[in-house]
Structure 1
Amino acid sequence: MVDLHVIEEFLNTVDERTFSRHGESHVAGEHLTSPGALSEWLAARDLPTAGAEPQPADLAATVALRTALREVLLGELDATTALTDYQLRLVPDPTRGLRIAARSGRPWLDAIVETVAQSAARGEWQRVKLCAAPDCHWAFYDTSRSGRGRWCSMDVCGNRHKTRTYRERHRRTG
């Protein structure tokens, strides 16, 4: 199993941020642009590949899972629908207990799905969020006490939202 920080990084392999900050425009982009890029990303995070280089179909399946998980976080897709292709089951683990396992034939996707499922079972998945700023949607783990954080960064997206709201409110009253 991988930790939720790797899941955050996985969700952020697509960068949808398009805002400007301090006069510089952020350029959105895709990090998983080829099977080679996927292979490098997996190796940098010690995710299993079963010894074979990812193929174009593996890249497509990886991007499809990432897209589905992001849609779940945005409330655009039901989690059951998102994980339809990833049947989960209980299997024995080395400590004589049980663990949740996926068997998609792509070990890195299994590790991601298993982590998501286990974090959901522990109640941690609800703290994985996409920034509420429509020009951001950066994935982050909400560490706020209440678990109701909306912004990837209060210094950037939260501040931009509050400033915009303040200006709009004063424009209407002034």
Structure 2
Amino acid sequence: MNDGIVDVTVDLVVVEQFLNTLDERTFSWHGERHTGHDGLTSVQALSGWLEAHGLVTAGQELGPADLTAAVALRDGLRAALIDDGDGAKTAQALAAFPLRLAPDSSGRLRLAATSGTAGLDAIVETVASNVAGGGWSRLKLCSSTDCRWAFYDTSRNGGGRWCSMEACGNRNKTRAYRRRHAD
């Protein structure tokens, strides 16, 4: 710990998993209906998720304000992924989490969130660093309206639209094909 800042580094995979604590999928796949759920419905659920991802230590006290901040951050970041051509929604999602420059363990400067909200600062720092470095544009929400799953776009040109070509991509392309041939 340095000057009250925990030096925890996470990557966009953890941010993706954080965004997917809200599962809005409502489609059927191989005959089974998927029903979404919210993984952050209680302080205990938030604490468990943060502990499982190494963002807080076991037994670290969290409160209702931490849950409120986590849900607001997640919802704001998800909204920013939908349509954020100018970055305003991402900036708005991060507004409640002040950032400053702080030295890391090697003495170099890094972005440090200093909100004091247990476990969320590392997520905010990762998002802010990736916004600055261009990696944030690869994190997307599935374009399928009955999915909206967050995914990291690994396509060559960054133009991926669906979380999975096998599921969402195939369903959407099949729907478009049927619409074209129904006319």
TM-score normalized with structure 1 length = 0.94
Q: Which runs of 5+ in 1 are unaligned?
A: none
Aligned with 2:174 (options 141, 154, 163): 163
Instruction: Look up the match of 1:94.
Output: 105
After superposition, give the CA deviation of every residue in 1:77-113 in whole Å (9 maximum; x if it has no partner): 6222111111211111221210000111113111000
Root-mean-square deviation over aligned CA pairs: 1.5
**In the alignment, is residue 57 of structure 1 matched against residue 65 of structure 2?**
yes
Aligned residues: 172
Aligned with 1:74 (options 78, 82, 90): 82
Displacement of 1:49 in angstroms is 5.4
Percent identity, please: 59
Displacement of 1:50 in angstroms is 9.2
**Which whole-Å CA distance do the structure 2 matches of 1:50 and 1:120 have between them?**
30
**In the alignment, is residue 154 of structure 1 matched against residue 165 of structure 2?**
yes
Relative to structure 1, is the Cα distance of residues 132 and 41 closer, same or farther in structure 2, using a 3 angstrom cutoff?
same
Aligned residues of 2:62 and 2:118 also touching (Cα < 8 A): no
After superposition, give the CA deviation of every residue in 1:17-73 in whole Å (9 maximum; x if it has no partner): 001112211001011121111111111110125963211221111001000000000
Aligned residues of 2:11 and 2:126 also touching (Cα < 8 A): yes
**Which whole-Å CA distance do the structure 1 matches of 2:65 and 2:31 have between them?**
40
**Which whole-Å CA distance do the structure 1 matches of 2:95 and 2:48 have between them?**
27
Q: Which runs of 5+ in 2 are unaligned?
A: 1-8
**Which whole-Å CA distance do the structure 1 matches of 2:181 and 2:32 have between them?**
26
